[in-house]
Amino acid sequence: MPDPVVHFEIIGKNAQRLRSYYKDLFGWKSNTDSAVALEVSAPGNYGFIDRVSTEDGTGIPGGIGGGEEYDSHTIFYVGVQDVEAALQERKVLGVKE
């Protein structure tokens, strides 16, 4: 079975605008009450998206954040059985450190 995406993050320079855009586009609601690592977003700028799921309960949690000093990017977190094995496999596939 393939490894699933378990979380995603959308990061950009104007986090409030991003949250508003995705709320208008997809109906995603978020809150900025939770703490987040500075590597991900400026304090108070990160909003965890209220989990949206299908009728069968599937759905991926995510967040939107950033700030002026954060370049725009998206991160996908993938759940693997063995983190060390996955790190070794990426080297086999040609990823350099």
- Sketch the domain layout of the chain as residue ranges: 5-92
What is the rounded distance in angstroms from the CA atom of residue 81 to the CA atom of residue 60?
18
Listed in sequence order, the residues at least 6 apart from 41 whose beta carbon sits closer than 8 Å to its beta carbon are 11, 15, 63, 65, 66, 67, 70
Q: What is the pTM of this model?
A: 0.83
pLDDT tens digits for 34-55?
889 999 999 999 999 988 778 8
CATH of 5-92, one of 3.10.180.10, 3.30.43.10, 3.30.70.1290, 3.30.930.10: 3.10.180.10
Q: Is the pLDDT of residue 9 over 90?
A: yes
Tell me which residue of 1, 28, 9 sits closest to 77, measured CA to CA.
9
78 or 59, greater pLDDT: 78
What is the rounded distance in angstroms from the CA atom of residue 70 to the CA atom of residue 97?
22
Q: Is the pLDDT of residue 67 over 80?
A: yes
What is the rounded distance in angstroms from the CA atom of residue 58 to the CA atom of residue 34?
23
